[in-house]
Every structure is written in C-alpha cells, then in structure tokens.
Amino acid sequence: MFRFIINSILLGVGLAMDAFSVSIVNGINEPDMPAGRTCGIAGTYAGFQFAMPMIGWVCVHTILEYFEAFQKFIPWIALLLLLYIGGKMLIEGLSKKDDEEETETAALLSAGTLVVQGIATSIDALSVGFTIANYRAASAFSCSMLIAVTTFIICFVGLHFGKKLGERFADRATVLGGVILILIGIEIFVTGI
C-alpha cells in the first residue's frame, strides 16, 4: 500500500510539471489573483489530471485499439492548444495599449482558456491508462485521486510563485507568459514524438 501511494504521488509529480509551468504563467499574468481564484485554477488542473488517467483506464478496458490510434495525436493536440493560447497572449502583450482597464481585463484568465490549458497540460496523462491498466477500478480511482491532489499542491505553489514574479515583471507579463506557453507546447511535442 505504501509503495502504491508513493508511486502514485511520483506519477502525479511527473504529470503535473506542465501544469506547474502554466500555473506560473497564470500567476505572472495576474499578480493580484485572490486566494479563491488561485484554488479554482489549481483545482481545474487537478480535475483534468484526475480525469485523464481514468479516461485512459476506461479506454484500455473498452476500446483499446481506438485509444492506441489516438495516442499518436496527443503531442500534436497539446502543441496546437498551447501555441494557440501562447500566441494569443503574445499578440495581446505586444499590442497592449496604455489604457489600464484594458490591461487588467486582458490579464484575467477566462474559463474557456483555463479549460483549454487544463486539457493541453493533462492530455498526456491519458497514456497513464496503460500504466494503471492492471489496476482494479478502485485502485485506478485512488491512483488518479493521488495524482490530482499532487497536481493541486504543485499548481497552487506555481501560481503563488508566478504572482511574486508578476509583481516584478508586470509590464512584460503577457509577452513572457505567451512565450513560456509556446515553449511548453514545443517541449510536450518534442518529448511526445
């Protein structure tokens, strides 16, 4: 049991690194983020990191041949989603006007963008379904839950770290965030193929 818990937490740490990086970007972009919003964003990433291994586990136990065909597209999907979000942030940052109201609304992370980030940073966790394929449903659920809790903690820390950086680099936060997201997308793509 102890080994199962440690292995699940380590799996969660490995899977959460992309979400951690994106959390830092979101914190940089919104240095005045309230605690409730911080928990909501970290919770969203944790929710996706919980759901993806479970979806992968279900796919392995039901439609394995379709899942194997889909798996080669995972790096491409993550790359396209993060290029889109990062490119949008980069363009917004470079074309920023001096109007303070516009800057504040541009920095806020929309629910749609958060969902896209959640999918992009957790889609590689679908393949964890293969790793936990020999688990019973309750064990797969427990493993996914430990991955989610680990992700929540890591992303919460990342958001706070990003908020500290955002206070220092407020004038360049959107451009920096866009570049970082694009680099994360490229890294996921390169390591995934």
Positive or negative torsion for Cα 32, 35, 40, 46:
positive
C-beta separation of 192 from 55 below 8 A: no
Residue 37: CB atoms within 10 A of its CB come to: 15
Question: What's the full length of the chain, in residues?
Answer: 193
Range of the domain at 114: 2-192
CA angle 2, 158, 139 (to 5 degrees): 25
Summarised one tens digit per residue, pLDDT across range 5-20 is: 999 999 899 889 889 9
CA distance 153 to 127: 22
Summarised one tens digit per residue, pLDDT across range 100-116 is: 444 444 457 889 999 99
Type of residue found at 21: S
Task: Report the predicted TM-score, pTM, of the whole model to 2 decimal places.
Answer: 0.79
Summarised one tens digit per residue, pLDDT across range 5-61 is: 999 999 899 889 889 989 998 998 888 999 999 999 999 999 999 999 999 899 888
Domain count, the chain: 1
